[in-house]
Chain A
Amino acid sequence: MDPTPGQPWRAGPPGPGFEGTATYIATPDLIVAVNAAVALGRPLLVKGEPGTGKTVLAREVAAALGRPLIEWHVKSTTKAQHGLYEYDAVARLRDSQLGSERVHDIRNYIVRGKVWEAFEAPAGAVLLIDEVDKADLEFPNDLLQELDRMEFYVHETRETVRARHRPVVLITSNDEKELPDAFLRRCFFHYLRFPDPETMARIVRAHHPDLGRDLLAAALDAFYGLREVPGLKKRPSTSELLDWIHLLLAEGVAPGAVRAARGGRSLPPLAGALLKHEHDLGAAGGAPVAGRVG
């Protein structure tokens, strides 16, 4: 037992737990969610505004747990089957024409997907299923069995593939589509709330350790101010803030210049890194938006 104050739940699950890393700031609720999902072998579904660290989380969890990371990036055309395996019938047909010996073993034409890879990983992988909501509505349902039982059947070879070690499954969603209840019931759920200024300061520090206190304060002030501007198409998030601060540093912008803009209700320097829509730049700069809402 490890009675270290502050991280006592490490006494529970075997092996090292997740508690954030030097480059990733995790809030207590996120730490609980990750460790619970790891301990119980349930998938963890992570939602949150774009750019709040959903995808990076999987990388950090894998690093913290010392496990390999397998990333499955879902697109609108992705099918559940792609994650398991695909049978390359065309290659086999071609080989048969060429008289290749390979053709007699159908296993040569079974192409493994990411889920299969994760099942085979020697140490129990972290499997990231990124942006699950991009796929077809039925996609999550089609993966239920596999994620539940951690096995699937390969019809072509009449084999059952079983996970050697239960992978840690992290699933992200941008809320484009709602996910089916049966799928949700099997997951733990975490909503990455937009970081408060203190947490954000720690995040920025993690990326820019030698950022001056003054510039950080001025940048955060301007950033949270911009997020409050009504009617933005895309509110800037963590990733935009980090990019922007990177630029401020590269250009050597003084804290005063950042602060001055805020007072004068004009845009801070290099605001294009924060606001990507032309419309948003107009809205935030105080320029009148043509027309009135009727």
Chain B
Amino acid sequence: MFERLVHALRRAGVPVSLGEHLALLGALRAGVVPPGTQGFYHLARTALVKDERHFDRFDRAFAEALGGRPADAPIEIPEAWLRWEAARRFTPEERAAIDVRGGVDALTEALRQRLAGQDGRHEGGSHWVGTRGTSPLGAAGYAPAGIRLGRGPGRAGRALKVWERREYRNLDDRVGLGTRAFQVALRRLRRWAREGAAEDLDLAETLRATARNGGWLDLRMARRRRNATRVLLLLDAGGSMDAHVRRVERLFSAARSEFERLESYYFHNCLYERVWRDNRRRHVETLPTVQLLKAHDARWRVVFVGDAQMHPIEVTHAGGSVEHDNAEPGAEWLRRAVARWPHLVWLNPVPEAAWPSTASTGLIRALLRGRMYPLTPAGLREAVARL
């Protein structure tokens, strides 16, 4: 059961290490398992899965480990659990009697009867049916025998088990960018500078000055170290880009503490004469790109995010925009941006291999002098190095 569960999890892309596997076994040994499959389900989940986005995969793996037929499939449980369960439900005298009668099979049978008698009070009345094979726990010091736990035949109208309800299904679609890898890359953007009033004690300088002062304290202060990184995000708000844009925004705002300032603006497909701050209010409130260029000096790190996929005339021609009648070609605006901002990159969520097949991507890349990077951890690392 455990091994099947762990394998199913790994196959589903949920990282489960040996340490976690052992933690689960440890919890079983410590006896913190509530009886019944549901208790085991909760325990296994808390020990094996460290991200709620993987809960749905866990549910599916759990059902699979139960034998692929979640409805009536029996599950194997370790003998240790059986014994623990027995210890709870039988007096020492009863247990002694069962042991005399004959080992695990007798124990199973006795438990089955005891639990059958308690139907309705626990876990909807699970039944114990037969014994089976070797337990994966052999190596961990358990007797090499597993027990199958399942529902008795002929039971109709059962309630859905927790893992069959798939309650975490909607959490799985947040998967995408492994944000930690991105954040580690982003933090390289930090640039420290000392600014403002001297308010931090400069320990090294104080020591030196005090020594020079014949041992009399001479406090030296320094200006506080501040992160001086300013980041300007320019995001393509075109329909196909929405999901990517939201991820990138989340990514950068999560890393906000790494920057002194972070501002974001939107454009559509290509940079033209106007940008806007709030995508919902783009028709009401816009900012002339000229002003954007003026207000953000060469110290700003500028990050474009877009798929760079459009008709070439949207880049090359006045009036080429799909949305409005642009007086100057997008290329002209991109050229101005490149001239103004030496620290500029373009992140492209489209896989790099597909770039050459789109003419507009090639055009924009050329305008940026090659500073386009795929939106992957590796790509971001390169982009950040470039910034």
Is B50 a contact of A187 with CB atoms below 8 Å?
yes
Q: Could you mark each residue 287-305 of chain B with 1 if its beta carbon is under 8 Å from any beta carbon of chain A, else 0?
A: 0000000000000000000
Give the shortest distance, in Å, between A67 (CB) and chain B (any CB). Answer: 17
Residues in chain A near residue B179, CB distance under 8 A: 177-178
Assembled-state Cα–Cα distance A178/B39 (Å): 28
1/0 per residue A1-26: CB within 8 Å of B?
A: 10101001101110000000000000
Name the residue of chain B whose CB is nearest to the CB of A192.
Answer: B52
Tell me, yes or no, whether A250 is within 8 Å of chain B by CB.
no
Residue-wise, chain A 263-294 has the 8 Å CB interface mask toward B (1 for contact) of: 00000000000000000000000000111111
Could you say which residues of chain B place their CB within 8 Å of the CB of A191? 52, 55
**Are B27 and A29 in contact (CB-based, < 8 A)?**
no
Which residues of chain A are near B278, meaning CB under 8 Å? 291
Cα A291 to Cα B283 in complex, Å, equals: 6
Contact B280 A36, beta carbon cutoff 8 Å: no
A186 to B, closest residue via Cβ: B19
Contact of A39 among B32, B187, B281 (CB under 8 A): B32
Q: Please encode chain B, from 199 to 234, with 1 for each CB lying within 8 Å of some chain A CB and 0 for all others.
A: 001010010001000001100000000000000000
Roughly how many angstroms separate A287 CA and B89 CA in the complex, as a whole number? 61
**Contact at B15–A181, with CB atoms within 8 Å?**
yes
B384 within 8 A of A: no
CB neighbours (8 Å) of B31 from chain A are 9, 11-13, 39
B237 close to chain A: CB less than 8 A = yes
Let me know if A28 and B42 touch, CB within 8 A: yes
The A107-128 residues at the B interface (CB cut-off 8 A) are: none
A32 and B39 contact, CB distance less than 8 A: yes
Q: B46, A188: Cβ atoms under 8 Å?
A: yes
Q: Across the interface, do B50 and A93 meet the contact criterion of CB distance under 8 Å?
A: no
Determine which of B46, B88, B239 lies in contact with A8 in the assembled complex, contact meaning CB atoms within 8 Å: B88
Contact B43 A32 (CB under 8 A): yes
Residues of B within 8 A of A186 (CB): 19
Known contacts A29-B45, A97-B217; is-contact A8 B35 (Cβ 8 Å): yes
Contacts of B47 in A (CB 8 A): 36, 188
- Interface residues in B3-22 by Cβ distance below 8 A to A read 15, 17, 19-20
Residue in chain B with minimal CB distance to A5: B121
Known: A3-B89, A9-B32. A189 touches B268 (CB 8 A): no
9 pairs of A and B residues whose beta carbons are closest in the complex: A12-B31, A178-B180, A191-B52, A184-B50, A32-B42, A33-B46, A291-B281, A29-B42, A39-B30
Can you give 24 A-B contacts (C-beta < 8 A)?
A: A1-B88, A5-B122, A9-B31, A11-B88, A12-B31, A13-B30, A32-B42, A36-B27, A36-B30, A36-B46, A45-B50, A76-B257, A97-B216, A185-B17, A187-B50, A189-B50, A191-B52, A193-B167, A193-B168, A291-B282, A291-B284, A293-B279, A294-B237, A294-B282
